[in-house]
Amino acid sequence: MERSQEEIAVVVFDLNGTFYNKSSKDEFYQFILSKEPQRVHYFFQMMYYKALKHLHRIRKTEFKENFFNYLDHLQPQQVEAYAREFWEQEYPKNFNKELLERFDQLKAEGTQVYCATGGLELYVRPLFSMYPINGFAGTRVRYENGTYKVIGKACKDEEKLERIARHFEGKPYRIKEAYSDSKELILDRAEKAFLVKDGSIVPYQR
Q: Report the pLDDT value the prediction gives residue 66, as an integer from 0 to 100.
A: 74
Q: What is the structure's pLDDT at 4?
A: 47
pLDDT at 40: 87
For 107-114, which contacts have Cβ atoms below 8 Å and span 24 or more sequence positions?
110/9, 111/9, 111/10, 111/11, 111/176, 112/8, 112/9, 112/10, 112/11, 112/173, 113/10, 113/11, 113/13, 114/10, 114/11, 114/12, 114/13, 114/164, 114/167
CATH of domain 8-203: 3.40.50.1000
The predicted pLDDT at position 61 comes to: 73
Please give the average pLDDT of every successive group of 10 residues along the chain, which has 206 residues.
70 98 93 92 70 74 78 96 98 98 98 97 97 97 95 94 96 97 97 97 94
What are the extents of the domains in the chain? 8-203
Q: What is the pLDDT of residue 107?
A: 97
pTM of the predicted model over 0.75: yes
What distance in Å separates the CA atoms of residue 194 and residue 116, rounded to the nearest whole number? 15
In this predicted model, what pLDDT tens digit does every residue of 94-108 receive, in sequence order? 999 999 999 999 999
Tell me the one-letter amino acid at 73: H
The pLDDT score that the predictor gives to residue 158 is: 95
For the beta carbon of residue 167, count every other beta carbon within 10 angstroms.
Answer: 18
